[in-house]
A and B are shown apart, each in its own frame.
Chain A
Amino acid sequence: MSKALQINNLRKTYANGFTALKGVSLDVEQGDFFALLGGNGAGKSTMIGIISSLVNKTDGDVKVCGFDLETQRSQAKSMIGLVPQEFNINMFEPVDEILINQAGYYGVPRKEATIRARQLLEQLELWDKRKNMARELSGGMKRRLMIARALIHRPKLLILDEPTAGVDIEIRRSMWDFLTKLNTAGMTIILTTHYLEEAESMCRNIAIINKGEIVKNTSMKTLLSGLNHETFILDLKTPVTQVPHTDEFTITLIDESTLEVELSKDFSINRIFEVLNNHDIRVNSMRNKSNRLEELFLEMVHQNNAENTSEETA
């Protein structure tokens, strides 16, 4: 079976001379749920723009479900459903017509398109709004409308560029559920995000992109198991002035009622409490210092930047 997406040495230099992609290579298997993670300006949207024919590449190859984007563009295009980062709907068009027209652009006749539109609008809880102009929808509804529009021609590969940016938590959850169900039903999904929990909760494989380069491409499991320590913040019931010393983890006193504990993944969290108990320190509450992925991400990006700098000066 051909891969859902094969990118080989993709480069993009914009007209102003800025190089947004510096030779990116990436494979996504069919049926995968793939995260492309990177901060603002990393090059995610540029990459997606090229895959979906909205941006012209400078160099490299892209294949979608085995179809070469250059030589078999129209087949490649039919395989993709795109939910772009920015709203790109006609605000002065009714919701149902937006879907029916989009189907038409893929050769789906009006009658069939009307049936499909109904299914999708119901699934995405927009059926009540079908006769409304797009501009009358809330941000979350517009985002869901774009998802429906991306699915109307039944693509094999759904690409979402920061789909939950600016969407409130409740709708975000239901969107995650929806996407997870789609994936379970066989759809390959690629999503970009700089919101790390999103990648962690849905995706199986992940690539991290920084300044136009892939700095990590692995499975979510491997990535997470690569985390070798975790930092917790503990709020204490009673103030302390001294912290116990142990070889198993490092404890730092932030202020008299707050401790920071850095724990290697070889040890269990229980040990923290055992040690503290022995010293009569009572804990009120405990939380992660920051998202584990976030730490990892920063670490990786930091390394990458350091390497680049040393190359330049060498």
Chain B
Amino acid sequence: MNFSYQMTALYTILVKEVLRFTRIWVQTILPPAITMALYFVIFGKLIGSAIDSSATDGYSYIDYIVPGLIMMSVITNSYSNVVSSFYSAKYQGHLQELLVSPTPNMIIILGFIGGGVIRGLMVGAIVTVVSMFFTDLNIAHPVITLLTVFLTAVLFATAGLINGVYAKSFDDISIVPVFVLTPLTYLGGVFYSIKLLSDFWQTVSLANPILYMVNGFRYGFLGVSDINIYACFAVILIFWGILFSIAYFLLDRGIGIRT
């Protein structure tokens, strides 16, 4: 397959992926918007107004958590889009449409990841719009903001793909989000600054990759972060490199998809 054929194949997968999640928008787009609106009302407005701004680097609580909440929806949505789409393609058998075609594995991987990234960013944008009903957004470093959110979406879409490759049942596609992703996100400094924690728990928190993404993103918005911004990018890129290699290896070997 020459380059332009490959681009046609990639474009096809992307269109297919976007149509898939927009067809079922009630399951994919609407829930995060509603959940996040609730978070803004309850944590941001009601509880947040009672929180002293010294705990949040001098920012009002809602302003402090907005970047984390956006990031949380980007992470969840880019991950779950790929894992559901890939697993259901495997389960229903139509992944074979791709496997019999000359589309190279690299394009298949990029297509699925791309689909997850688009959904993650789309939901992220919607949540951002929702947040503007509750607070005035100022973005201190737009480039860093966009770069962090993009790379994070790529990272979690890749992770979702690996999950999809390994999944053998519908249970397997919810285990990681429920038992790994959600706890790590909540403990990743979405709702608090790790400076509030004891030294010991601060050090433990540093092992959580999501902390770096949330803080990188918050730095983009507010200009404050618990973590050095270069360290944020380094962590995201290193993790992504590892996950992408795993995903490529799995597809190349046909693990979980060819007998």
User: Which one of B67-75, B98-106, B160-168, B173-181 contacts A?
Assistant: B98-106
Q: Is the CB of A53 within 8 A of B94?
A: no
Q: Is the CB of B259 within 8 A of A15?
A: yes
* B96-132 interface bits toward A, Cβ cutoff 8 Å, 1 = contact, 0 = none: 1111111110000000000000000000000000000
> Is B19 located at the chain interface by the 8 A CB criterion?
yes
Q: Which residue of A lies closest to B5 (CB)?
A: A107
Is chain A's binding surface mostly helix, strand, loop or mixed? loop
Q: Is the CB of B9 within 8 A of A104?
A: yes
Chain A nearest Cβ from B96, distance in angstroms? 5
Interface size class of A (residues with CB under 8 A): 35 or more
User: Which one of A75-83, A123-131, A177-185, A241-249 contacts B?
Assistant: A75-83
> Is B254 located at the chain interface by the 8 A CB criterion?
yes
**Given contacts A49-B259, A104-B12, are A90 and B100 in contact (CB under 8 A)?**
no
Q: Is the CB of B100 within 8 A of A77?
A: yes
**Given contacts A74-B102, A87-B93, A91-B92, are A107 and B6 in contact (CB under 8 A)?**
yes
Q: Is the CB of A54 within 8 A of B6?
A: no
Q: Which residues between 79 and 101 of chain A lie within 8 Å of chain B, taking CB atoms?
A: 80, 82, 84, 86-93, 97, 100-101
Contacts of A105 in B (CB 8 A): 9, 12-13, 97-98, 101-103
Complex Cα–Cα for A110 and B9 (A): 10
Contacts of A110 in B (CB 8 A): 12
Q: Is the CB of A101 within 8 A of B99?
A: no
The winner among A49, A74, A97, A104 for most chain B CB atoms within 10 A is A104
Q: Is the CB of A54 within 8 A of B102?
A: no
* B1-19 interface bits toward A, Cβ cutoff 8 Å, 1 = contact, 0 = none: 1101110110111011001
Chain A nearest Cβ from B206, distance in angstroms? 42
Q: Which residues between 9 and 56 of chain A lie within 8 Å of chain B, taking CB atoms?
A: 14-15, 49, 52-56
Q: Which residue of B lies closest to A20 (CB)?
A: B259
Contacts of B259 in A (CB 8 A): 14-15, 49, 54-56
A: which residues have CB within 8 A of B?
A: 14-15, 49, 52-56, 73-75, 77-78, 80, 82, 84, 86-93, 97, 100-110, 149, 153
B: which residues have CB within 8 A of A?
A: 1-2, 4-6, 8-9, 11-13, 15-16, 19-20, 23, 89, 92-94, 96-104, 254, 258-259
